[in-house]
Amino acid sequence: MKSIYEANEDNIAKAAQVIKDGGLVAMPTETVYGLGANVYDAQAVARIFEVKRRPTFDPLISHIADFDALPEYVEADQRVWALARRFWPGPLTMVLKRRGSHAGVDLACSGLPTATVRMPDHPVAAALIRQSGVPIVAPSANLFKSVSPTTAQHVYDGLGDQVDMILDGGSCPVGVESTILDVTGTTAVILRAGGTTREDIEDFLGERVLLSHGEPDRPSAPGQLLRHYAPGHRLRINAEKPQENEFYIGFGTRDGDLNLSPSGDLREAAANLFAFLRQADTTAGGRTLAMAPIPEYGIGLAINDRIRRASHD
């Protein structure tokens, strides 16, 4: 497996050179693995879409490691700076108004007047971004619409040697993607529930934050597509107990073939979610999948969002 490299100092330096030379590096973040490229290299950005088989109308997130890089091609007002200082580094992505124009950035943003930016809370991602010296655009490092990768092996299983280097930093601690918060309007709107909870954002802003489930035909965050994050098997959700011939993924006291968190801890459940969906897929055989109900608060919002889309046929 030549493309997986332990994320040590030498290999991070090598990976930074790959980014500078226009290559693709899969990097661990606290949420999921990202497939990274130099945002200022339009050809490298184009290759991300190719390798993921992702439509170019589905924009990418820019990852930065230092606050100074925030205003490089977006407008940041006081509220944006306050949110950044409170939640970065961490799993919060902000949709911001763009300024200026650059071929790579235009492509990464699918020509939209907005750009998404986040600062990942992971030492490997931070070191890679700093040493590359540019913002790194990175979608989740999986094929479009499939289950997101939370280990280096997941990346390899999906994308293989099309990635120049996969930096192995172990399992992603959060396990679901970042929360996407649109702050271009007066009221902040969550376009994708994720690792930063709605409750924490509302507490900090001191106001209600809207939650958009999106328009399925014209998603503003294509993570909003009805079917996404999908395992190969059919998945039934909110299942109080398994039916005959079902592989059951439990939660809390509802035990099963797997249990997302025997103690009912939503953070643990989120960290296990994608790996368990993959494991269920490979071991269920002729059975279909079913999952126990997950409480709809905190990071449970993100879990329920992902499994709703994963279960859509």
Q: Which residues sit at the interface with ligand TXA, rule CB under 6 A?
A: 29, 31-32, 34, 58-61, 91, 93, 95, 109, 112, 114-116, 120, 138-140, 177-178, 180, 191, 220-223
Residue from 279, 43, 297, 272 nearest 193 by CA: 297
Residue closer to ligand TXA by CB (options 42, 61) is 61
Nearest residue to Mg ion, scored by beta-carbon proximity:
140
The number of CA neighbours under 13 Å toward the Cβ of 87 is 28
Residue 262: CB minimum distance to ligand TXA, A: 26
- Distance (Å, whole) CA 305 – CA 36: 25
- Distance (Å, whole) CA 285 – CA 297: 32
Return phi, psi of residue 259, to 5°. Answer: -135, 120
Residue 54: CB minimum distance to Mg ion, A: 8
Residue 242: CB minimum distance to ligand TXA, A: 30
For binding to Mg ion (CB under 5 A), which residues are involved?
Answer: 140
Residue closer to Mg ion by CB (options 93, 140) is 140
Residue 51: CB minimum distance to ligand TXA, A: 13
Residue closer to ligand TXA by CB (options 290, 307) is 307
Residue 66: CB minimum distance to Mg ion, A: 25
Residue closer to ligand TXA by CB (options 158, 222) is 222
Which of Mg ion, ligand TXA, none lies near 61, with the C-beta cut-off 5 to 8 A by kind?
ligand TXA
Residue closer to Mg ion by CB (options 48, 84) is 48
Which of ligand TXA, Mg ion, none lies near 221, with the C-beta cut-off 5 to 8 A by kind?
ligand TXA
Look up residue 200 and give its amino acid.
D
Which of ligand TXA, Mg ion, none lies near 178, with the C-beta cut-off 5 to 8 A by kind?
ligand TXA
Which of Mg ion, ligand TXA, none lies near 136, with the C-beta cut-off 5 to 8 A by kind?
none
Residue closer to Mg ion by CB (options 35, 94) is 35
Residue 69 CB neighbour total at 10 angstroms: 18
Beta bridge partners of 10: none
Which of Mg ion, ligand TXA, none lies near 60, with the C-beta cut-off 5 to 8 A by kind?
ligand TXA
Residue 184: CB minimum distance to ligand TXA, A: 9
Residue closer to ligand TXA by CB (options 3, 31) is 31
Which of ligand TXA, Mg ion, none lies near 32, with the C-beta cut-off 5 to 8 A by kind?
ligand TXA
Residue 252: CB minimum distance to ligand TXA, A: 25
How far from the centroid of its chain's Cα atoms is residue 149's Cα?
9
